[in-house]
Structure formats: C-alpha cells, structure tokens
C-alpha cells in the first residue's frame, strides 16, 4: 500500500518482529516509508497506522523542526486514538 502525503507517495509495509523490538510501527524520515508490525489487526493496526501517518505529516510540513519529539508523540498518539475511536477507515483506491 502507498499513501499520498502532500504529494509524496509513502509506502506502508507489514514487518515481522517489530513488537519484539518494542514498537508497533515506525515512520522513517530517511526512506519516507512506514512499517507496521505484521501481527497487528483491527484497532491496534488502525491506531498504529494513523500514528505513523501523523509522523509523516509532521515530516512533510517540517513541523518536527519546531516541536519536540515528546510533543510530536503526544499529538500522534492522541489524534490517532481519537480518529480511530470515532471513524472507520477505508483506503481509497488510487491508480
């Protein structure tokens, strides 16, 4: 799957063993890609994906240069949980 974040196509991969490394997923500003632990399903998957999308938006608009990583994590966690609690998500089909 690829996501369009401000015109940049961000690949999303399912990766084995991330939870064992202490993370559900991550966004890499170097490779402009998202990886999500392959075992996540349902709400855990959606919250993690939203969380990482928020990190990619912070990177895309350089918000990470003016707010601390701690604040970025709080925004990503809380906005992701709020969105997933109130909406259902379905990826648009893109060409």
Query: Smallest distance, Å, CB 95 to Zn ion?
Result: 30
Please, which of residues 21-80 interact with Zn ion by CB under 5 A?
73, 76
Alpha-carbon distance of 3 to 34, in angstroms, equals: 9
Shortest distance, position 94 Cβ to Zn ion, whole Å: 25
Least separation in angstroms between residue 91's CB and Zn ion is 21
Q: Which one, 18 or 76, has the nearer CB to Zn ion? A: 76
| Number of residues this chain uses to bind Zn ion (CB under 5 A) | 2
DSSP string, 24-77: SEEEETTTTEEEEETT--HHHHHHHHHHHHHHHHHHHTTGGGTS-HHHHHHHHH
Coil vs helix vs strand at 86: helix
> CB-wise, 8 or 73, nearer to Zn ion?
73
Cβ distance to Zn ion smaller for residue 21 or 93: 21
Residues making contact with Zn ion (CB under 5 A): 73, 76
């Amino acid at each position: 799957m690829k996501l369009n974040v401000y015109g940049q196509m961000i690949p999303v991969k399912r990766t084995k063993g991330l939870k064992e490394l202490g993370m559900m997923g991550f966004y890499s500003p170097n490779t402009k890609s998202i990886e999500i632990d392959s075992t996540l399903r349902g709400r855990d998957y959606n919250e993690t994906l939203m969380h990482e999308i928020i990190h990619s938006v912070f990177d895309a608009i350089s918000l990470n240069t003016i707010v601390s990583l701690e604040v970025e994590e709080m925004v990503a966690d809380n906005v992701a949980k709020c969105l997933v609690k109130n909406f259902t998500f379905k990826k648009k089909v893109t060409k």
